[in-house]
Structure 1
Amino acid sequence: MKTMIVIPARLASSRLSEKLLLRAGGKSVLQHTYEAAQQAAIADQVVVAADDPRIVAEVNSFGGEARLTSVSCQSGTDRIAEIALLNDDVEIFVNVQGDEPEIDAQVIDTVASLLAKRPDADIATAACAIDASEKLDDPACVKVVMGSDHRAIYFSRAPVPYSRDGAADALLKAKPPVYWQHIGLYAYRRDFLLWFANQPPGRLESIEKLEQLRAVEAGKTIVVAPVGPSPRGIDTLDDYRAFQKRVEGPSS
């Protein structure tokens, strides 16, 4: 199946201004992400779906491929759907966030391959086991509940499944794991993307502020690949400084 990685790239950021253009080791955060995505064996093409000409200029500066998407796009998924509309020969589109400069190419391959192998699925994504109560109780750590076939049943910011007997600490050590952290990497079928872009936000999505619940509520099938812990993306200045030190060394 022809596969395209699309990196939705938004210039503005409420928590860290223009973070994709911040530099570490002589490269922008966006360039680090682009080059990491290029290491995925499954991808036929990597494209940045930009919302601003400055993003396009940055991608052009390092020899990447970028397309300026409509200002009417409300989310990164909408930007990917716009790219999908123009590429009817591509069957699978992989969403890699622009602020994930240390993303593991093998995880990209795992997620895209899972979707290719599951004709019943509309979306594939990834999750890693949660083994600490701090993460379980953190609403910024999105949890996913899976069935035995790795189908996603629900996503939540709450600690789900909830242990009525107060045994959450014991369940954190269970094998196989009970609690899973969702990793925001997606592979979509083209027809699903075109459907999704024309649907209003769902009720559950509006409550939890989790876009993937739009698909769950509509009865779409999401399959989840269990993977190891992923490096943290860049959301804050501290995240950026930590990444900069990993790239440039402790003197940066």
Structure 2
Amino acid sequence: MVLGLIPARFASTRLPGKPLVDLGGISMIQRVVAQAQQANLARVVVATDDERILQHVREFGGEAVLTHPHHPSGTDRLWEAFQLLGSPPDVHCIVNIQGDEPFINPAQINALADLFADAATAPDIATLVKPVLTEEELFSPHLPKVVLNQRGHALYFSRHPLPYQRGRERAEWLAHHHYLRHLGLYAYKPAVLEQLTRLPVSPLEAAESLEQLRWLEAGFRIQCAETELEAFGIDTPEDAERARVRLGR
């Protein structure tokens, strides 16, 4: 059984109440839930820290649990949510679906869930990567990049382009390497998710402000699946307005 969990916090520095933002007459969190329900998931549950979000999700027919408001990361919120659901023993994979991506494609979720279909080959952790297409993407610190080994396991994540192209102008970098950027969609074995919540902040994580570096430093392998599909996260009022334009409203 694959369980989809959607962490949804009310507090947001740049867009307070983000999950409840109206996008063409439908809240952002309802759009995320609707997209996730089209994937091959046995169950989709919102993990929120706010009673307003909890009630809203239940009103539109979704499933939600109320978690502690002071979790240091979405990973910790997911683990509490899993426990609140009774730690279902038949769940072999938990997919962490970002609550601020109302256009997430179900195929992206399936790409990760499929990696866990065979227990003998299932990874501890899986995530999505996408080819970098523009110089703007490549050098944006807001779009983390990743380098992989030959088996598709992550070697390192960074806000800086990796690898560095010594002796070449920045405008030439894309022509000489297949750069990948990280999309914030994860899947885990339940037992691994529990272990991740016990790890302290690591030096690399503190330097880059990327939680997945904590996992790499602790020795976990992260399997990466490549997608051509774009991600559309909403962090600011301007992002929300672009989403409304995309919806034609």
The TM-score range, normalised by the shorter chain, is over 0.9
Deviation digits for residues 158-203 of structure 1, max 9, x if unmatched? 11111112265444135xx521010000001101111111111111
Alignment partners' CA distance in 2, 1:45 and 1:167: 49
One-letter code aligned to 1:143: K
Distance 1:211 1:242 in 2: 28
- The reply on whether 1:160 has 2:158 as its aligned counterpart is no
The SS at the match of 1:207 is helix
Separation (CA, whole Å) in 1 of partners of 2:61 and 2:173: 48
SS at match of 2:168: coil
What letter matches 2:205 in structure 1? E
Q: CA offset at residue 116 of structure 1?
A: 3.6
State whether residues 146 and 154 of structure 1, in contact with CA within 8 Å, keep that contact through their aligned partners in structure 2. yes
State the AA in 2 paired with 1:51.
D
Which residues of 2 match residues 53-72 of structure 1 at below 5 A? 53-72=51-70
Letter in 2 for 1:113: D
CA 1:107–1:4: 2 relative to 1, 3 Å: same
What is the distance in 1 between the residues matched to 2:128 and 2:169? 26
Residues 119-198 of structure 1: pairs in structure 2 closer than 5 A:
119=121, 121-166=123-168, 169-174=171-176, 178-198=178-198
Q: CA offsets per residue over residues 130-172 of structure 1, 9 Å max, x none? A: 1211111110010010111110000000111111122654441
Counterpart of 2:57, as a letter, is V
CA contact (8 A) 2:183 2:231 kept: no
Q: Which consecutive residues of structure 1, in runs of 5 or more, have no partner in the other structure?
A: none
Paired residues for 1:20-39 under 5 Å: 20-39=19-38
Q: Report the CA distance between 1:12 and its aligned residue.
A: 0.7
TM-score of the pair, normalised by structure 2:
0.93
Equivalence for 2:231: 231
Whether the aligned pair in 2 keeps the contact of 1:115 and 1:123 (CA below 8 Å) is: no
* Secondary structure of 1:173's aligned partner: helix
Alpha-carbon separation, structure 2, partners of 1:72 and 1:12: 11
Residue 19 of structure 1: how far off its partner (Å): 1.6
CA contact (8 A) 2:147 2:180 kept: yes
1:203–1:20 Cα change, 3 Å: same
The number of equivalent residue pairs is 245
3-state SS, counterpart of residue 44 of structure 2? strand
Normalization by structure 1: what TM-score? 0.92
Q: Note closer, same or farther for the CA distance 1:31–1:225 as it changes in structure 2 (3 Å cut).
A: same
Q: How does 1:88-103 map to 2 (within 5 A)?
A: 88-89=88-89, 90-103=91-104
Could you say what secondary structure the match of 2:242 adopts?
helix
**Residue 120 of structure 1: how far off its partner (Å):** 5.8
Q: Do 1:131 and 1:173's aligned partners in 2 also have CA atoms closer than 8 Å?
A: no
Q: What SS does the corresponding residue of 1:172 show, helix, strand or coil? A: helix
Matches within 5 A, 1:73-84: 73-84=71-82
The aligned amino acid for 1:12 is A
Residue 73 (structure 1) shift: 1.7
Matching residue of 2:43 = 45
Kindly report the root-mean-square deviation, in angstroms, between the aligned alpha carbons of the 2 structures.
1.5
Structure 1 CA distance for aligned equivalents of residues 195 and 88 of structure 2: 14
1:209-228 to 2 correspondences below 5 Å: 209-228=209-228
Q: Report if aligned partners of 1:84, 1:194 keep a CA contact under 8 Å in 2.
A: no
**Structure 2: 5+ residue stretches without partners:** none
Query: What one-letter code is carried by the residue in structure 2 that aligns with 1:80?
Result: L
User: In structure 1, how many angstroms separate the alpha carbons of the residues matched to 2:201 and 2:122?
Assistant: 23
Cα distance in 2 for residues equivalent to 1:202 and 1:241? 36
d(CA) in 1 for partners of 2:18, 2:229: 23
3-state SS of 1:234 partner: coil
